[in-house]
Amino acid sequence: METVTTSRMQAVQSPVIPIVGELIRSFPGTISLGQGVVYYPPPPEATNLTQFFADPANHQYKAIEGIPSLIAVIKTKLQTFNDIALDKRCIMVTAGSNMGFLNALLAITSVGDEVILQTPYYFNHEMAVQIAGCHPVFVATDENYQLRPEAIAEAITQKTKAVVTISPNNPTGAVYSEAALREVNQLCRDRGIYHISDEAYEYFTYDGVKHVSPGAFSQSHTHTISLYSLSKAYGFASWRIGYMVIPEHLLVPIKKVQDTNLICPPVISQYAALGALQTGFNYCQSHIQVIANVRQVVVHSLNALQGLCTIAPANGAFYFFLKVHAQLDPFELTERLIREHRVAVLPGTAFGMDRGCYLRVAYGALQEATAKEGVERLVKGLHAIVAY
C-alpha cells in the first residue's frame, strides 16, 4: 500500500539558485549575474591550518558556542567595527548566518507564531520561517526598498515574535538608514518582540554610505539578535562559518538547538575564520574597492534600461533589483535571457515579489570586463524580449 504523507516542507519553496544553475549548465557560455558570491579567495592566513592540525584534540568535538580563541577575536571585531559592547550578550559561532537565523527562530518561537519579513525578502529567511512551523508576515518596503516602520508597527499582532531586517540588503542592495533601524529596534523593544538583524553584507557599502548595527543602539541588548557571516567578506562561502550575537537569556535555548543540529561548528572552519579575522578588514577593503569599481560599470550599463525598467538606488551588498515595465512571468523571462541571450539573473518571485516582473542582478563574482559583457547582454536581451 502506498503511504501518503503530509509534511511542513510542502509549504517551503524550492531553492531557486540550483534551478537557475541547472539552466546555466545547459547553455554553455552563459554569464551568471545570479548567485551572490565574491570573486576573490580567502586570505592566506585563513588557509594556513598548521595550528589546527598541530593539536590532535581538534579532531574531537569542541564547545557548542565555538572555540575560545575565535570568540575572543569576534568580540574585538564587534567592539571596533560594529560598536557593540557584549555586556549581557553572548556570541554563538554557527555554520553560516543562515544557521544562525534558524537557530534564532527555533529558540524564540512556537509553531503558529508570526515573523515579520520585509519584501522583497531573502528567500532562505522565508523558507526557514516555514520550516519552523511559523507564519511569515510580509511588509512591503517603499519604492526605494527602504523600511516603512509605520507599516511594520501595523503588522504586529499578539502572535508576532520577531521583525527581521537585512542591511545592506539582499536582494535589493538597499542600505537602511540609522533613523529607520532605530525606530524598528525601539518598536520591537516597546512591543516585547525580537529584532533579528542580518548583517552578512556589513562591509559592502558604497558612495560614502555607512553600515549601522542595531546591536549598537542603547538598550538593544535585551531584544536584538545580530547575524554575521564570513562567506562574503572573506571569500569562503563553502567553509560555512558565521556567528550570532544574542541576549544572555537566549544562550541556553540556542545551545540546545545548535547541539541537536550541529553539535559544534566545524572546527577546521573556525580556525580558518580565526585566521581571516586576525588579518582583518584591510584584506577585504582592497577587494571591495574592486567590486565598487565593477558596480560603477554596472550602473553605467544599466542606465540604458531607463524607461524599460525602474532601477532603485543600491548603495550596499552587490545587487540591483530591477522592476521590468512589462506583464511578463519573471521565471519565464529568466529562462529566455539564459536560452536566447546567455545571461542569467534571478526572478523576483523567489524574493516574494509575486505582482509585477522583477529581476535580481548580482555583480560581486565578476571581473570588470565580464560584468560589463554580462550586463550588456542583459540590456540587449530585455530590449529584445520586452519590446517584442
Nearest residue to 364 via CA among 305, 280, 304, 289: 289
At residue 14, the pLDDT reads 85
- How do the domains of the chain map onto residue ranges? 8-41+282-386, 45-280
Place of cell 542583459: 378
| pLDDT of 4 | 59
In the prediction, which pLDDT does 6 show? 63
Strands annotated E in the chain: 31-32, 89-94, 114-119, 135-140, 160-166, 194-198, 224-229, 242-247, 309-311, 319-324, 343-344, 346-347, 357-362
Q: What is the model's pLDDT at position 9?
A: 84
- Cα distances (angstroms) measured from residue 14 to each of 27, 269, 301, 338: 22, 28, 32, 20
Cα 356 from Cα 348, distance rounded (Å): 9
Contact in structure between 156 and 186 (CB atoms under 8 Å): no
Do 216 and 245 meet the contact criterion of CB atoms below 8 Å apart? no
45-280: CATH class = alpha beta
The pLDDT, as a whole number, for residue 143 is 96
* Percent composition of the chain: helix, strand, coil (DSSP 3-state, to 5): 45, 15, 35
Is there a contact between 94 and 270 (Cβ–Cβ < 8 Å)?
Answer: no
b/e string for 222-255 if b means 16 or more Cβ within 10 A?
A: ebbbbbbbbbbbbbbbebbbbbbbbbeebbeebb
What pLDDT score does 52 carry?
96
Cell numbers at residue 348, please? 523576483
- Distance of alpha carbon 14 from alpha carbon 123, whole angstroms: 10
Closest CA to 314 of 185, 209, 191, 241: 209
- Burial class of residue 137 in the structure, from the number of CB atoms within 10 Å of its CB (0-12 exposed, 13-18 middle, 19+ buried): middle
Cell numbers describing residue 32: 551568471
pTM attached to this predicted model: 0.96
- Yes or no: say if 90 and 96 are a contact pair by the CB < 8 Å rule: no
Low-confidence ranges of the chain (pLDDT < 70): 1-6, 388
Give me the CATH code for the 8-41+282-386 domain, please: 3.90.1150.10
Q: What is the pLDDT of residue 87?
A: 84
